[in-house]
Amino acid sequence: MAVELEFDYSNLMGSNVGLQHGLQEAEIAALQPLVDRIHKQLADDIDEQCRHRELGFWDLPHTMREELPSLQAAAEQFKGLADAHLILGIGGSYLGARMLFDGLCHRYWNELPADRRGGWPRIYFEGNGVDNDSFADLLDRLGDQPLTVHVVSKSGETLETGLAFRAVRQRLGDQVKGWAFTTGDDTRVDRFCRSLDLPNLQVFRLPDNVGGRDSVLTPVGLFPAAMMGLQLDQLLDGAHQMRDCCHANSHITRNPAYLYAGLQHLSELAGRNISVMAVWSKALESFGLWYDQLSAESLGKEGRGRTPLTAVCTRELHSRGQQHQAGSRDKVITNLFVREPNREKVRTEDDPGDDAERAIYASERIPTAEEQGRTDGYFFAAGRSFAAVNEFAFMATDSAYAKDQRPGLSLTVPRLDEEHLGALIFLFELATVVEGRLMAINPLNQPGVQAYKDFLTGLLGKPGLEAYRDECLALRAATKGYVLNVGSDI
């Protein structure tokens, strides 16, 4: 089944939202020479085996196919070992799998009986922080049952994930019936896990030229997807189709990745440096959070880079919607909309009294207080599905923003399935790289992430990092304090 995508940037253009707030066709066209150079750079990033040197994610729709049988076999083995599966990882080692789980699984997956889950286990996530109570709650939940565990760390030295691995090994080790690890070549966690007598050990490799934030279509995300019973080949098919689409044409208005990158880049240059991804399905909230990391870690450098935020609609229309509609003009809204729901359409029917209320309005008067007590007042939406109301809400919000000259664009897919999610993953990965090249920064590194890690491991006493410990303590000691302490006697 072919991937379909509608990319509507009408309300980002000055002809619709005003020249002061929108872009002009000439600005977009002026990017074409630079886009052509970037397109050639991407095409030239090939080694003697016809694989990309830097952009490892480009090859994954092809290279990961040979990994699918082993991933699926390991998942089938783990499926028979326990009804709980724990994934330990942080950043890209967590967000991709979480995005697949929330996007493609039943919203109440862990509460369903095993037969409703096709025999696949309940899924849990940890190792994405050092929140004491969250981890204690996990130990409490899993403390009396068998489970399998997947530890994900490209470097093999991620503190949060490593501490979670140690705690699970020490506190729940006897209950773990299968261990899986996804890591880079010759990492410490690789050497350590092989030295232990771990039951049903599986070790998967993360390619060196694939960064954590681009790793969802490697075993980082594909093994968890297999443990959820998802169709791995369709995820890769969708990514493959989007890759072919983007590879075939360098024209900025015919290539969705280049177009998205160019529009966001021009918007940032115009002072709109907050990018809001408004997802119109709760299932896509984790996709937004995955993209937040992809964008922020790739583009937030050298004092530049837009700030990405995720908003779930219509939920956030009752909170941040006020800011988006009437606040500072520093934002671009990207709507991500799914046309058809995956489940049976839910709709409300007529209540007793609805016809009487329709008649009251038809007579051009307002119901009295007594008449208002006879119905709930929502007769006008009776017979419409929640999906239809959601689409009307999307149209209404988009129009309200445009009326006030608030720029935005919309990406619409016909349905949310493995194929379309795979396509969206590749689209945003490539768009982020291209946007970084347009900014003339390196979108593949993340030097800023290391700063807190050095201070933290120094404070914890890791040998060789005493200088970072001392620097951190000195900075805090030299900070002039402005502190309000509130006591219980207030």
| Whether residues 217 and 252 fall in one domain | no
Cα 63 to Cα 237, 238, 240: the distances in Å are 12, 14, 11
Long-range contacts made by residues 297-301, C-beta under 8 angstroms, separation at least 24? 297/91, 297/213, 297/446, 297/449, 298/213, 298/432, 298/433, 298/435, 298/436, 298/443, 298/444, 298/446, 299/432, 299/435, 299/436, 299/439, 299/441, 299/443, 300/448, 301/441, 301/442, 301/447, 301/448
At which of 181, 208, 230 does a domain end?
A: 230
**Closest C-alpha among 138, 278, 211 to residue 432:** 211
- How many CA atoms within 13 Å lie on the side-chain side of 337? 22
Please tell me whether the peptide bond between 182 and the residue prior to it is cis, using omega within 30 degrees of 0. no
| Whether residues 244 and 101 fall in one domain | no
> Which segments within 14-118 are labelled E, that is strand?
84-88
Residue 74 within a domain: yes
Q: Which pTM value belongs to this model?
A: 0.96
Residue 354 within a domain: no
| Whether residues 282 and 397 fall in one domain | yes
Residue 42 pLDDT more than 90? Answer: yes
| Whether residues 429 and 459 fall in one domain | no
Residue 26 pLDDT more than 90? Answer: yes
| Whether residues 75 and 200 fall in one domain | yes
Phi, psi of 125 (to 5 degrees): -125, 135
The predicted structure's pLDDT at residue 249: 93
Residue 392 pLDDT more than 70? Answer: yes
Residue 42 within a domain: no
Mean pLDDT within 275-295: 98
| Whether residues 182 and 65 fall in one domain | yes
How confident is residue 47, by pLDDT bands cut at 50, 70 and 90? confident
Q: What is the dihedral of CA 97, 210, 5, 22, to 10 degrees?
A: 110
Of the residues 62, 106, 251, 453, only one is catalytic, namely: 453
Residue 318 pLDDT more than 70? Answer: yes
| Whether residues 241 and 174 fall in one domain | no
| Whether residues 216 and 271 fall in one domain | no
Question: Per the structure block, which two tokens stand in for 385?
Answer: 């599905």
| Whether residues 221 and 317 fall in one domain | no
How confident is residue 212, by pLDDT bands cut at 50, 70 and 90? very high
> Which residue's entry shows tokens 């995956």?
342
Q: How many structural domains comprise the chain?
A: 3
Residue 433 within a domain: yes
Of the residues 48, 66, 318, 344, only one is catalytic, namely: 318
How confident is residue 63, by pLDDT bands cut at 50, 70 and 90? very high
Residue 90 pLDDT more than 80? Answer: yes
Of the residues 297, 357, 419, 429, only one is catalytic, namely: 297
CATH code where residue 162 lies: 3.40.50.10490
Contact at 8 Å (CB) between 274 and 330? yes
Lowest-confidence region among 47-51, 65-69, 226-230, 259-263: 47-51
Question: Per the structure block, which two tokens stand in for 357?
Answer: 């209320």
Contact at 8 Å (CB) between 244 and 117? no
Residue 100 within a domain: yes
Residue 1 pLDDT more than 70? Answer: no
Residues 410-443: pLDDT tens digits? 999 999 999 999 999 999 999 999 999 999 999 9
Residue 353 within a domain: no
Residue 117 pLDDT more than 80? Answer: yes
The predicted structure's pLDDT at residue 23: 98
Annotated catalytic residue 318: yes
| Whether residues 322 and 465 fall in one domain | no
The predicted structure's pLDDT at residue 31: 98
Domain of 338 in residue numbering reads as: 6-30+237-345+384-439
CB-based burial label for 6 (10 Å; 0-12, 13-18, 19+) = exposed
At which of 200, 230, 260 does a domain end?
A: 230
Q: Determine how β-strand 274-279 pairs with β-strand 84-88.
A: unpaired
**Closest C-alpha among 276, 270, 289 to residue 320:** 276
| Whether residues 200 and 309 fall in one domain | no
Annotated catalytic residue 297: yes
Convert 190-215 to b/e letters by CB count within 10 Å (16 or more is b).
beebeeeebeeebbbebbebbbbbbb
Q: Following DSSP, what letter does each residue of 114-136 receive, concatenated?
A: GGGGTTPPEEEEE-SS--HHHHH
Residue 60 pLDDT more than 80? Answer: yes
Q: What is the mean pLDDT of the chain?
A: 96
Contact at 8 Å (CB) between 221 and 67? no
Residue 371 within a domain: no
Residue 36 within a domain: no
| Whether residues 150 and 166 fall in one domain | yes
Phi, psi of 332 (to 5 degrees): -125, 130
